[in-house]
Amino acid sequence: MLNKKILIDAFGADAPDLVIDGIAKAINAYSEVEIVAVGKREYIENRLIDQDFDRNRLEIIDAEEVVTNDDGPVESIRKKRNSSLYVGMTALKDRHDIGCMITAGNTGAVIAGSVLILGRETDNDRPTLVTLLPNDKGGITCLADCGANVDCKPHHLLKFAEYANDYAKGVLKIEEPKVALLSVGTEDKKGNMLTKETFKLLKESGLNFVGNMEAKTALSGDVDVIVADGFYGNVLLKSIEGTAKSVLMRMLKLLKKNAGEKDDFTFVNKAVKELLQQLDFNSMGGAILLGVKKPIIKAHGSANSDTVINTVNQAISIIKTKEIL
């Protein structure tokens, strides 16, 4: 049995029913896992009443309020003290038997709550959201930051690089992660004031820094960690998601348009569906919030039962890594 429990915010996502279903599925999928679900107790129990899973490995903490995407980040933490997000983070902070939290809630509230409730890992640094990108070499590339910090200074980006580097080494088991800085060109002097100053810090950092990189090579697999401020990191992430889906849909339409009447497109549809699943970053789990005193996995707001299974698997890896560090 895993020596730490995994806490799940059952009401942070757009569709809580799917998250609750995913909790039962995750318990069935991972025999070593114990889960703490936070949210409206009666609702959760009624949703699970007919589902078959080991109830001895599920604890429910009652929390009647919900933080929505319309709530202000700091205001929601200060005023909604009985929300699943606030109660969950408080339990994560206070209980030694909980090792990681999963939430698909309001990103701003997650970040604000993590700082106000859990506290920063170091006083002068900011937490960063690290998302995992499936790359062309069949591996994973970490992008830090992907939206937590839109206005940054060079020393913030240096710390993002260090956090992501540690995650790549500890959890992804990459011995010497290659770290690159997102910029408008690969030359050393390309970029704005922020990237130029950050370049100097990264070069002197002791990390395996390989220089600047352009957005077009983000999925190449040539680097293991991409460093950016949250504004450009989020733009990169959303651009990859949108472009991948658009290109695939256009290709499928053209293939069908130019096909003969007897052509069988079953294999094409299957291949496109499989590729879309590979490029769906939810299939990789969630973004990891690093730089606070306990790890939080931030799943997409559209999280479903499969997302829960994937993020629980991710949480298992994080907890096991912390056990041996």
User: Each residue of 10-49: pLDDT tens digit?
Assistant: 999 999 999 999 999 999 999 999 999 999 999 999 999 9
Query: Could you tell me if 317 and 186 lie in one domain?
Result: no
Instruction: Provide CB contacts within 8 A for 229, sequence distance 6+.
Output: 145, 149, 150, 151, 152, 156, 157, 194
- Is the model's pLDDT at 325 over the cut of 60? no
pLDDT tens digits along 47-84: 999 999 999 999 999 999 999 988 898 999 999 999 99
Q: Are strands 225-227 and 179-182 parallel, antiparallel or unpaired?
A: parallel
Mean pLDDT across 204-229 = 97
Q: Which domain holds residue 138?
A: 128-282
Query: Could you tell me if 100 and 169 lie in one domain?
Result: no
Give the CATH number, domain containing residue 257.
3.40.718.10
> Is the CA virtual torsion 231, 233, 236, 241 positive or negative?
negative
Residue 167 within any structural domain of the chain: yes
At 50 the three-state DSSP class reads coil
d(CA 270, CA 285): 23
pLDDT tens digits along 269-284: 777 777 777 666 566 6
Place 324 in a pLDDT band, splitting at 50, 70 and 90.
low
Query: Could you tell me if 104 and 226 lie in one domain?
Result: no
Query: Could you tell me if 277 and 304 lie in one domain?
Result: no
Place 98 in a pLDDT band, splitting at 50, 70 and 90.
very high
Query: Distance between terminal CA atoms of the chain?
Result: 19
Residue 287 within any structural domain of the chain: no
- In total, how many domains does the chain have? 2
The reported pTM is 0.89
Both structure tokens of 154: 């060079």
Place 234 in a pLDDT band, splitting at 50, 70 and 90.
very high
The H or E element containing residue 70 is none
- Is the model's pLDDT at 100 over the cut of 90? yes
